[in-house]
Structure 1
Amino acid sequence: MQQSQLAIILLAHGSRDPLWRRPIEAVAARIQTDQPRLLVRCAYLELCAPDLAGAVAELATLGATQITIASLFLGAGRHVREDLPRMVQDLAHNFGHLQLRLQPPIGEDARMTALMADIASQSIAS
């Protein structure tokens, strides 16, 4: 039996400014360092490449069998609530051999809320 090849896509909104992508790419690099066997890619909803479909296709070519899509959005606006689940559903249909899992937006995680509060109030406590 073939072992599953796990992968993760860090999905963010996107920007024309290449400097905007640096934090997302830094997260990808950190994950790759911590978990070298995990395939890691960044993808963007708009304004820069690769898009989600391109990242899924690349990971499929590399042998991924299970892909987690980490939604790096602080809020759940229309893109996250409506567009993204539809996109993932379409990709699951088009790549029937892959298991795709969409995580809730990172901003809805209590750990992220606590971290942002700590960082925001850090200068006040000093």
Structure 2
Amino acid sequence: MATTDAANSGIVLFAHGARDARWAEPFERLADTLRSLRGGPRGGPVSLAFLELMSPDLPTAVAAQVASGCRAVTVVPVFFGQGGHIRQDLPVIVDQCRAAHPDIEIRCATPVGEDEAVIAAIAQYCLRQV
């Protein structure tokens, strides 16, 4: 596969979803922060996708990034751990996205809650609460 630069490399933040639209607000703030860190639209797209109860779903979000010119898409599960949705559901959905876009590199990161820096940041937050 050809190498890609940030402008044609997208990020999809993948979250569970909920019935209450307010539940997505922190994920929207995360996406906005990430867009800013990437330099705005010139830094490549950042979008949200949801497993259930909200839209867009992951195939729709990936298709939108591909339509906007992305040659690579990284799916970042915004989950704290690797439960059944991450171990069972997500690989199936990512494989569907890869089958739908065979010329696009679609990567999947580990859940954010598995990263040591995220754990350390949460621990620091907890310490500030006491």
1:3 is displaced (CA, Å) by 7.7
For 1:31, the equivalent position in structure 2 comes to: 34
Query: What TM-score do the two structures reach when normalised by structure 1?
Result: 0.92
For 1:12, the equivalent position in structure 2 comes to: 15
Q: Is the 8 A contact 2:9 2:71 kept in 1?
A: yes
**What runs of 5+ residues in structure 1 fail to find an aligned partner?**
none
Which digits, 9 at most, give the CA deviation of each residue in 1:12-49, with x for residues without a partner?
00011111111111111111112122111100000000
Q: Structure 1 residues 112, 92: closer, same or farther in 2, change over 3 A?
A: same
Separation in 2, partners of 1:102, 1:54:
16
User: Structure 1: which 4+ aligned runs deviate by more than 6 Å?
Assistant: none
For 1:49, the equivalent position in structure 2 comes to: 55
For 1:64, the equivalent position in structure 2 comes to: 70
Query: What TM-score do the two structures reach when normalised by structure 2?
Result: 0.90
- The reply to whether residue 98 of structure 1 matches residue 101 of structure 2 is no
- The reply to whether residue 75 of structure 1 matches residue 78 of structure 2 is no
What's the RMSD between the two structures over aligned residues?
Answer: 1.4
**Residue identity matched to 2:61:** A
SS in 2 for 1:100: strand
Task: State, as a whole percentage, how many aligned pairs show the same letter.
Answer: 33
**What runs of 5+ residues in structure 2 fail to find an aligned partner?**
none
1:91 is displaced (CA, Å) by 1.1
Separation in 1, partners of 2:60, 2:95:
15
1:98 is displaced (CA, Å) by 0.8
1:6 is displaced (CA, Å) by 0.6
Give the number of equivalent residue pairs.
123
